[in-house]
Amino acid sequence: MPGNGHAGGASASADDAVRTTTLDNGIRVVTEQMDSVRSVSTGVWVGVGARDESEALSGASHFLEHLLFKGTAGRTAQDIAESVDAVGGEMNAFTTKEYTAYYTRLPATSVGFGLALLADVISAPAFRPDEVDAERQVILEEILMNEDTPDDRVHTLVFEARYPDHPLGREVLGSPETIEAMTRDEIAGFHGHHYRPENLVVAAAGLLDHDEVVAHVAAGFGALPAGSRPERSAPSAPPLSEVVVRRPTEQVHLAMAWPGLRHEDPDRYALSVANHILGGGTASRLFQEVREKRGLAYAVYSSPSSYVDTGVVLAYLGTAPSRMVEAVTVVDDVIAGLVADGITDKELDVARGYLEGSLVLGLEDSSSRMGRIGSNVCIRGKVTPIEKHVERIRAVTHEDVRGVLQRVFGGERTLAAVGPVDADDLPH
């Protein structure tokens, strides 16, 4: 029966340390036991982000994230901060295009307190009008800070051009116009619509007992009424080929985007290997060709982003305006060489070794473990064991990499620039 907060059946993951339970109202609880630590990290992962907002409510997910820390029906913002400080813990949150996460890291003895606090913050926000207006000013300053940072601005710009007329193309922060216009009731309505049990994942990792965590979650979140997850539509408008914002900066900041892969694409492991070789580190081809050999840029890299129904591969660099055409030409030549000739045995071995090592080394504390299992269940509905990820990385072949390079870079490129240049200055 939905909404009574009782736990349904628990199911063990392929990794025995990871267990999942779904409450009767739809909340999914996932834990990972770590007997070697003395902390517990807990998090609430809400399956709503910038892509789930209307144009008028652009920035609502992030605005809401800020407001939930401003106080509940029974706690002020200072009460929340002092209670976390009193046990030597930490509490924070972040917003992405597809989910919002609220998390704590506390001593293992405080797991009940951490989950009760998150439940209060998530389910009983006060939305006091004076706090809404005060936080509105904080977010407006955050937007201005982003606008004043050209390398941040060019990333925003390339997404706008890549996904025109779609929420994936809008900035997570929203715009000054939407934040100024957003009312307290609209934010509260957004919370009531999206912060439903079916859309919530509660994750915990550390020195814990799964059944105890489930009991705390049922007590704190069990009264939430059942609801549904947001419906999402894939982008349909064709991307723009280029976009320029002229600014009197010392460098011109360039971001290039190609079609990427969705979360569950079978080629995603090959793309991770390909990206590391292209621009994922100091041994990458872009870093070596653009920075080390030619001195065209201080910072140059590539990175893939995946969503439930689409994806994008980005390359970024900052260079002197007089060398912009040369820099873009070198990037194009590096990519063309990879697509045409493939990769070397050494590059494949190094990339696979890096990805395997960074995966293992990045999961040594309770916070990273909680983040992994929480985001996995929120995005994919399940936790893939680390060993399975390692197996798939090791299985990537030359042919796999070449195939995914052809998929990605066979698509149309979008070029965004911020700096002392005009559209006519861009290479065509």
pLDDT in tens, 140-157: 999 999 999 999 999 999
Q: Quote the CA–CA distance of 218 and 361 in Å, as a whole number.
A: 33
Identity of the residue numbered 76: T
Residue 226 — very low, low, confident or very high, per pLDDT cuts 50/70/90? confident
Determine which of 2-6, 135-139, 197-201, 364-368 has the lowest per-residue pLDDT on average: 2-6
φ, ψ dihedrals at 11, nearest 5° = -130, 130
Is 391 an active-site residue?
Answer: no
Quote the percentage of the chain above a pLDDT of 90: 91
Residue 392 token pair: 């798939």
Q: Does the structure show a pLDDT above 50 at 5? A: no
Beta bridge partners of 31: 19, 204
| pLDDT at residue 222, rounded to an integer | 83
- State mean pLDDT over 197-218: 97
Beta bridge partners of 253: 318, 418
Cα angle value 10/11/13 (rounded, 5°): 140
| pLDDT at residue 32, rounded to an integer | 97
How many Cα atoms sit within 13 Å of 331 on the Cβ side?
Answer: 27
pLDDT tens across 399-420, in order?
Answer: 999 999 999 999 999 999 999 9
Q: Does the structure show a pLDDT above 70 at 3? A: no
Q: How far is CA 93 from CA 29, 44, 69, in A?
A: 18, 9, 9
CATH 3.30.830.10 spans which residues of the chain? Answer: 8-221, 242-425
Helix locations, 280-365, DSSP H: 285-286, 324-341, 345-361
Task: Please say whether the beta carbons of 51 and 168 come within 8 A.
Answer: yes
Beta bridge partners of 18: 32
Give the active site residue among 53, 65, 98, 131.
65
Provide the CATH number for the domain formed by 8-221 in this structure: 3.30.830.10
Q: Does the structure show a pLDDT above 80 at 131? A: yes
Nearest C-alpha neighbor of 257 from the set 312, 202, 298: 312
Nearest C-alpha neighbor of 406 from the set 343, 347, 340: 340
Q: Quote the CA–CA distance of 121 and 68 in Å, as a whole number.
A: 6
Q: Is 302 helix (H, G, I), strand (E, B) or coil?
A: strand
Q: Quote the CA–CA distance of 356 and 363 in Å, as a whole number.
A: 11
Residue 323 token pair: 């060398």
Quote the percentage of the chain above a pLDDT of 70: 96
Write down the residue that tokens 């009531």 correspond to. 192
Cα angle value 27/227/48 (rounded, 5°): 75
Residue 114 token pair: 């951490």
Q: Does the structure show a pLDDT above 90 at 227? A: no
| pLDDT at residue 230, rounded to an integer | 77
- State mean pLDDT over 395-400: 98
Q: Quote the CA–CA distance of 101 and 116 in Å, as a whole number.
A: 16
Write down the residue that tokens 């490129």 correspond to. 413
Residues in CB range of 206: below 8 A, 6 or more apart: 32, 33, 34, 37, 38, 39, 40, 41, 108, 111, 366, 369, 370
Beta bridge partners of 205: 32, 41
Angle between helical axes of 210-221 and 111-123 (0-180°, round to 10): 30
Q: Does the structure show a pLDDT above 90 at 1? A: no
Question: Is domain 242-425 classified as CATH 3.30.830.10?
Answer: yes
For residues 208, 212, 216, 221, the Cα torsion angle rounded to the nearest 10 degrees is 100
HEC profile of 362-404 = CCCCHHHHHHHHHHHHHHHCCCCCHHHHHHHHHCCCHHHHHHH
Would strands 414-419 and 311-319 be described as parallel, antiparallel, or unpaired?
unpaired
φ, ψ dihedrals at 185, nearest 5° = -70, -35
pLDDT tens across 89-119, in order?
Answer: 999 999 999 999 999 999 999 999 999 999 9
**pLDDT top residue among 7 and 398:** 398
Residue 15 — very low, low, confident or very high, per pLDDT cuts 50/70/90? low
Q: How far is CA 88 from CA 83, 108, 114, in A?
A: 9, 11, 12
pTM summary value:
0.93
pLDDT tens across 264-287, in order?
Answer: 999 999 999 999 999 999 999 999
